[in-house]
Every structure is written in C-alpha cells, then in structure tokens.
C-alpha cells in the first residue's frame, strides 16, 4: 500500500531526555564490538552454511571476510584461518546471504528530517524495522525521495548502521486518481505518454533507482482507476531506457493486466481484491518475467484494523496465498516484501509461514530474500545475494536452520553488510 504522504512531524520538539535514553539503549556511536573496521580480517567459523538457494550446505563451514568482500567460503577442515583474522565461533548457527525486503516505506513520522536526527536514533529505528530481521537491503517503494536519499547517504557514509537502500520516490497515479486513503495529499499524476516520459526522466535525474506506477489506484473506497495502457508503456519504456526497474501497485486484475501488457517488471502486491487469478495469467506473467511481491501479512493487517470478521480475513488471505501458489507453480519469480513502514508491525515471521503455506520451499523463500532481489536490484560489477569468493560480504547468522523450521529466518544472531557488522544481538538476547 502507499502510506499517507504528509509533512513529517518536527523532531526538534522531542525531549532531549528521550533521545538520550534511546542513545544509551543503542550504545551511542557504535563501539569496537558493534562496529568493526571493515578492513579487518574476519573468520565466521563452525556454522552450517547455505552458499546459495540451490547449493548444498556446508555442515561446518568457514566464511572469511576481508575488505568488505567474501575472501573464502569452505568447509572448516579445508581452510586455513590466517593469523590476524578475528575468529567468531558460529557453532550451532546457520549462515545465509543477507536478505532484501523489496517493499518498505520510510514515511512514518519518526523518519522525518533524517538529515538531522541523531545517528544512534536512526540506527535504532533501522534495527527495529529491518536489520534485526536480517535485512541488508531494502527497496523503498514510495516515500519522500529527498528524505530517503538523505537516509541512504548517512548509511553509506558509515555514520548510521543500516541496509543498502534503493528507492522509487512517490508512486505515479492516473489523472485525478490519488488513492483516497492519502487524501487530501496527492501523488504525482501522469497525464499522457509524453508527460509520463518527462516525469519519469525527471524522477530518475533526482536520484530514483526505480519507478512505481499505480496501474490501478483506489480513487475511492469502491472505485479503482486503471492507468491507461499507453501511459504505462511510455513510463516503463523511459525507465527501462535508463536501466531502471518498474514496479506496479495493481489493486485489481485490470491493474494487473495493465502492468502485464505495459512492460512492468514487478508487482508490488498480490491482488486478492480482484479474486482468484485465472489459469492463464501466471503463465503470461512468467513469459514477460513479471516478478511478484506477495505482501501476504499486509492483508491481515489491513482487514483486521478495518474490523473485518476473522472468516472474511481468512478468505481474503487464502485468495492471495492461492495467487502466490499459482505464480510459483508456473515458475514465476518472487521477491520477499512486507510493506513495513506502512504496516507498523515489522515482524516478518507470519509472512514466512504464509509463503510456506503457498507451497514455497525453504530454498524458494531464500531465493526470494537473496538471489532474486540481487538479480533485479544489484548494481553492475558487484556480486550480491550469494556467499561466494569475491561477493559482497552481506551475511546473516541465524540461531536455527530455516530448512527445518521456516521461523528460523527471524532468529537473527548477527548481520553483516559489505563486511561490516550492522546488527548483533547482545549476549542477553536483547534486540
Ligand atoms: Zn507499500
């Protein structure tokens, strides 16, 4: 969903005491334990390692990290841990590549003015929403562009511990079709193919990594306005010409058709509002390489807070789960995404359980978290999303093995992004 775009609350009214308490909880500027120098040489040893979704695990593996990259992945008996490497005993844990959440927003009031918020506070907020759950990457599918870019700068300058961020800025809607749930605020409207091309080009100049289109927009509670196909095509072509990904918020099957025929790359949601998909649709989606972000838990969140009865909520969820099942059975690609930042419950555990209910195996879910987003969102020349020599050292250390219990994906011990530890649960088990 798209969050309500409104001016952020001013943070300078926050009592200094509250900020001081938060800073003390997160430990202030990270010390040596939380912020190792990435030029150091690290060895994570003794864990079960899944190098990629389709590789056999190493039962007692070692990962060497140097200068932000993976220097080696091997069985413990087959690798010499060099003197000078800092050894971290990972016995009993499972190591996988760092996760991407491909549908997030930074529009809750506490993200306002990220250019001036204390670094420790931003680190704590990113931990609560993303890093404590293993996310080393996040695709922001609709927030204030400048604010998200400012957040990214502070992470990339290493002042704040957080994920790699890609962002679309606000989504584009058809004429007079801003979603009713954000009114009186309005999203940018694309009025014609030429107008769409110009606005998309401008957005990319301003720093967007991807484009989001409301190919079906809830202009009123009972009225979904589709985006004209020629406009969807023009917008997609312009984004693709510049090497950018196009996401669609479809709302219903008509919006999905417009995405499908208009050259969109990724559906930002399933479409339970439109009922079950027909048998032909998944095959057509696969043919044009249209990926799907399920956002299954979101439907529970939305319907529950609207007061829907539990039977209706379950039926709605079942339709969405059926859509994911049909997509995956046809060989379609899934990108993991939960709409956190719009959805205020950040815990992804239920999403993993619902994906499993849709028939996705541990390895398919791991692909949705790692290799699939890396393929769509990675930057040229870098290897991400898998654990292999020369790849970015984006790593999650888990307590359990998600191949045995999918909920282990949320039992995160520590997280590394480009060789730097960005999250470590403390020894008392606190997040
Ligand atoms: Zn959203």
Rounded to the nearest angstrom, the distance between the alpha carbon of 143 and the centre of ligand 1 is 9
What global pTM score does this model have?
0.90
Task: Please give the distance, rounded to the nearest whole angstrom, from the Cα atom of residue 182 to the centre of ligand 1.
Answer: 12
Q: Domain residues for 172?
A: 99-377
Report, as ranges of residue numbers, the positions in the chain whose pLDDT lies below 70.
1-39, 427-429
Task: Output the CA 95–ligand 1 centroid distance in Å.
Answer: 29
242 closest CA partner among 213, 215, 203: 203
CA 366 to chain centroid, in Å, comes to 13
Integer Cα distance of 55 and 2 in angstroms: 37
Structural domain includes residue 41: no
Residue 14 lies in a domain: no
Structural domain contains residue 6: no
How many residues in total does the chain contain?
431
pLDDT at res. 9: 34
- Report the CATH number at residue 161: 3.20.20.140
pLDDT for position 184? 84
Decide if 385 is inside a domain: no
Could you tell me if residue 131 is inside a domain?
Answer: yes
pLDDT at 2: 52
- Cα three-residue angle 82-84-88, rounded to 5 degrees: 80
Whether residue 93 is contained in a domain is answered as no
**H helix or E strand, kind and range, residue 233:** helix 229-241
Tell me what pLDDT residue 185 has: 86
Exposure class string for 98-126: b at 16+ Cβ within 10 A, else e: bbbbbbbbbbbebbbebeebbbbbbbbbb
The answer to whether residue 373 sits within a structural domain is yes
Least Cα distance to 122 among 167, 163, 160 occurs for: 160
State the distance from the centre of ligand 1 to the C-alpha of 2, rounded, in angstroms.
4
Determine, yes or no, domain membership for 205.
Answer: yes
pLDDT at 211: 98
d(CA 84, CA 290): 47
Residue 177's pLDDT is 96
The CA 269 to ligand 1 mean position distance, Å, reads 8
Q: What separation in Å is there between the alpha carbon of 312 and the centre of ligand 1?
A: 22
Tell me the CA–centroid distance for residue 140 and ligand 1, in Å: 8
- Rounded to whole angstroms, how far apart are CA atoms 211 and 173? 12
How far away, in angstroms, is 419 Cα from ligand 1 center?
Answer: 30
Please give the pLDDT value at position 378.
Answer: 81
pLDDT single digits (tens) 255-304: 999 999 999 999 999 999 889 999 999 999 999 999 999 999 999 999 99
Cα separation, 53 vs 350, in Å, equals 21
Q: Long-range contact list for 347-352, CB < 8 A, 24+ apart?
A: 347/133, 347/410, 348/101, 348/133, 348/297, 348/409, 348/410, 349/407, 349/409, 349/410, 350/296, 350/297, 350/300, 351/294, 351/295, 351/296, 351/297, 352/402, 352/406, 352/407, 352/409, 352/410
Domain count, the chain: 1
Ligand 1 centroid to residue 103 C-alpha, Å: 6
Ligand 1 centroid to Cα of residue 11, in Å, is 24
d(Cα 341, Cα 140) in Å, to the nearest integer?
A: 9
Q: What separation in Å is there between the alpha carbon of 341 and the centre of ligand 1?
A: 8
């Amino acid at each position: 969903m798209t969050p309500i775009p409104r001016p952020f609350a001013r943070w300078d009214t926050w009592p200094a005491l509250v900020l001081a308490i938060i800073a003390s909880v997160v430990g202030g500027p990270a010390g040596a334990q939380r912020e190792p120098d990435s030029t150091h040489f690290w060895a994570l040893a003794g864990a079960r390692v899944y190098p990629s979704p389709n590789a056999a695990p190493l039962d007692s593996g070692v990962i060497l990290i140097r200068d932000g990259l993976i220097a080696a992945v091997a069985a413990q008996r087959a690798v010499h841990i060099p003197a000078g490497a800092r050894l971290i005993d990972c016995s009993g844990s499972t190591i996988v590549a760092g996760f991407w959440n491909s549908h997030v927003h930074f529009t809750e009031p506490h993200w306002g003015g990220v250019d001036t918020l204390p670094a420790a506070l931003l680190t704590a907020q990113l931990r609560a929403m993303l890093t404590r759950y293993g996310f080393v990457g996040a695709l922001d599918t609709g927030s204030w562009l400048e604010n998200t870019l400012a957040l990214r700068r502070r992470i990339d300058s290493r002042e704040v511990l957080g994920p790699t961020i890609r962002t679309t800025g606000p989504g584009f809607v058809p004429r007079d079709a801003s979603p009713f749930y954000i009114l009186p605020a309005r999203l940018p409207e694309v009025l014609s193919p030429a107008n769409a091309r110009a606005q998309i080009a401008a957005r990319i100049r301003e720093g967007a990594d991807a484009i989001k289109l409301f190919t079906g927009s809830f202009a009123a509670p009972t009225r979904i306005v589709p985006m004209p196909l020629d406009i969807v095509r023009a917008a997609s072509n312009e984004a693709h010409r510049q090497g950018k990904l196009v996401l669609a918020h479809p709302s219903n099957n008509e919006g999905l058709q417009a995405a499908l025929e208009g050259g969109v790359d990724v559906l930002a949601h399933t479409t339970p509002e439109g009922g079950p998909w027909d048998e032909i649709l998944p095959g057509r989606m696969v043919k044009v390489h249209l990926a799907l972000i399920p956002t299954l838990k979101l439907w529970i969140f939305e319907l529950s807070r609207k007061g829907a009865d539990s039977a209706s909520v379950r039926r709605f969820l079942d339709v969405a789960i059926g859509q994911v099942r049909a997509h995956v059975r046809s060989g379609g690609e899934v990108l993991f995404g939960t709409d956190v930042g719009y959805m205020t419950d950040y815990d992804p555990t239920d999403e993993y359980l619902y994906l499993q209910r849709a028939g996705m195996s541990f390895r398919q879910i791991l692909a949705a978290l790692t290799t699939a987003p890396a393929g769509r969102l990675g930057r040229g020349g870098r290897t991400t999303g898998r654990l292999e020599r020369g790849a970015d050292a984006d790593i999650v250390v888990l307590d359990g093995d998600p191949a045995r219990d999918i909920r282990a994906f949320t039992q995160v011990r520590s997280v590394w992004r480009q060789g730097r530890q960005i999250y470590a649960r403390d020894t008392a088990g606190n997040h």
